[in-house]
Amino acid sequence: MCMKALASVVTAWLLMSTIDVKAQEDLTKMLEENEPKTTDYTTATFKGTRIINGHSVETVKKNHLDFIIHHRFDRLNSGAYNLFGLDYSTIRLGFEYGLTDNITIGFGRSSVQKTFDFLAKAKLLRQSTGTRNIPFSVTAFASSVIETLDKDLTTQDKTSYCTQLLIARKFSERLSLQLNPTFLYRNRVATAAQERALFALGFGGRMKLNKRLSLNAEYYWAFREKDLENALGDPYGNSLAIGVDIETGGHVFQLHFTNSSGMVEKQFIGDTSGSWGKGDIRWGFNVSRTFSFDKRAKGMMK
Amino acid sequence: MKTIVLIFSVSFASLGYLKAQNLYSTSNGETSFFSETPVENIAAVNKFGQAILNTSTNDIVVQMNMKQFDFPNKLMQEHFNENYIESAKYPKAVFKGKINEKIDFTKNGTYDISATGDFNLHGVSKPRTFKGKITIAQGSIGLTTDFEVALTEHNIEVPKVVFMKIAQTIQVKNKYSLAPYVSKK
């Protein structure tokens, strides 16, 4: 009798707790029905504002400043005497600021050709799901570049322009791919055989290996005449870069191999003469650090 | 005897369930958290917390989208979603439980309460009892509760390479104001 009573109490208790769960599930359903419909924007298509040499669709967030250091060493095939390129290096220092979440302006200075560059980026479309369903992101990019190495040239002759449409889709948490139609215009070209205008199509992508590490690759196919040579007699080539992104809290480190020495569009798309096949490969890295100037962040820094 | 107990319990329980018309809810509750680190503090707020309370049964459900946490530092926000909370995989934090105390929801006043139930964060459920306060004023129910979340309990990994040390427990504050439930279906 006692056992039976106990059993029935247990049964009743079990039933009651099932009803509790059921009740809470019904409540959850009611909450979900009332959930305001929102647009879920895709974030972190790429870890940084660069895939490797070229820009990604990412912009710097509002009131944030991104300080980026690019470094490229000399060619691996320059031999043991030059420590496989490590004896010489080129550098670009860049500052990029987010005017809004969608508009970035910036400037930089490269040691290659003693170059100053000014850039602007604007997000035109953002990949999203929910109330607004857009399958990819589009960012417009424009830059003007002034190469000041040759003092005898006029400012106009030193200047080049680049515009790009950056079109990217984050296919999954791991895979993002980007397509970059590019138009480059040089006021002055290195040799008479060259056209001032140059069209190119860039391809880039990243594959996340784990939460903090991704494998990146980038290729710019420049539509120039065949066998075009630069002033030194080296044939121009397309820029190819392969590397990894490592993210460590506040910094993004990008380590890579590339056949380009320039770190701005005009140079790595327009002036690359190194060939992967011959071993004209340079080791390089980008380090970026972002600072928030959001008012709410004030007082949070110690 | 057994049958009587059973029928009694079931009907009592279902009575409460069926009579559950006394629903209060919100979809703009505020949940914030704070963590101190040697370099800089980490703080974020979610102003779109959803809660629903059945005043006849004391059942309560609170949930929020992790992506809606707003950080002053957007890089932290990205890391929060991408590396720690993995909001694409585990989009929501949910508490499903019951308020333990018997409260007369018709009487205005502030009462100390506790709620026991299941707290799911980062895909890991833990039985928890949260202590807080309930404030009943004309037609609305205010709920506040502060509690701590231990990162390891929810398998939230803090990698060793991170320069910035992150505290192992995070202080969470909640402020929800519930109004009579109206279905928007």
Q: Is residue A25 very low, low, confident or very high in pLDDT (cuts 50, 70, 90)?
A: confident
Provide the pLDDT for residue A34: 83
- As a whole number of angstroms, the distance between CA B4 and CA A28 comes to 32
Q: Is B9 a domain residue?
A: no
pLDDT of residue A226: 81
A65/A67 Cα distance (integer angstroms): 6
First-to-last alpha carbon distance for chain B, in angstroms, is 44
Structure confidence by residue, pLDDT tens digits, A256-299 = 999 999 999 999 999 998 889 888 999 999 999 988 887 766 55
Whether B104 is in a domain gets the answer yes
As a whole number of angstroms, the distance between CA A105 and CA A107 comes to 7
Does A4 contact B164 at a Cβ distance shorter than 8 Å?
Answer: no
pLDDT at residue A2 in the model: 63
Q: What is the distance between the alpha carbons of residues A6 and A4, in angstroms, rounded to a whole number?
A: 5
User: Residue B164's domain spans which residues?
Assistant: 22-180
| pLDDT tens for chain B, residues 1 to 185 | 555 555 555 555 544 444 446 899 999 999 999 888 776 788 899 999 999 999 999 999 999 999 999 998 888 898 889 888 999 899 999 999 999 999 988 889 999 999 999 999 999 999 999 999 999 998 899 999 999 999 889 998 876 655 556 777 889 999 999 999 988 77
pLDDT at B17: 47
Question: Given this model, what pLDDT does residue A65 score?
Answer: 94
A4 vs B contacts (CB less than 8 Å): 1-2
Q: What is the pLDDT of residue A10?
A: 67
- Within a domain: residue B143? yes
Residues from chain B that touch A247, judged by Cβ atoms under 8 A, are 79, 83
| Closest CA in chain B for residue A210 | B83
Contacts of B52 in chain A (CB under 8 A): 27-28, 30-31
**Mean of the pLDDT values across residues A18-22?**
73
* Burial (CB count <10 Å: 0-12, 13-18, 19+), residue A82: middle
Residue B11 in any domain: the answer is no
A78 versus B65: the higher-pLDDT residue is B65
What residue in A sits closest to B88 (Cα-Cα)? A173
Angle, in degrees to the nearest 10, between helices B2-18 and A2-34: 10
- Domain membership flag for residue B17: no
Cβ of A5 within 8 Å of Cβ of B1? The answer is yes
As a three-state string, the secondary structure of chain A is CHHHHHHHHHHHHHHHHHHHHHHHHHHHHHHHHHCCCCEEECCCCCCCCECCCCECCCCCCECEEEEEEEEEEEEHHHCHHHHHHCCCEEEEEEEEEECCCCEEEEEEEECHHHEEEEEEEEEEECCEEECCCECCEEEEEEEEEEECCCCCCCHHHHEEEEEEEEEEEECCCCEEEEEEEEEEEECCCCCCCCCCEEEEEEEEEEEEEECCEEEEEEEEEECCCCCCECCCCCECCCEEEEEEEEEECCEEEEEEEECCCCCCHHHHHHCCCCCCCCCCCEEEEEEEEEEECCHHHCCCEC
Q: What is the mean pLDDT of chain A?
A: 90
CATH topology of domain A40-297: Porin (2.40.160)
Between A82 and A8, residue with greater pLDDT: A82
Helix (H), strand (E) at residue B18: helix B2-18
Residue type, A151: K
Please report residues of A whose CB lies closer than 8 A to that of B67: 40, 43
Q: What's the CATH number where B103 sits?
A: 2.40.128.110
Do B2 and A23 count as a contact with CB atoms less than 8 A apart?
A: no
Q: What is the pTM of this model?
A: 0.83
Q: Quote the pLDDT of residue B19.
A: 44
Count of domains for chain B: 1
* Domain assignments of chain A as residue spans, ordered by start: 40-297
A33 to B183: CB separation less than 8 angstroms, yes or no: yes
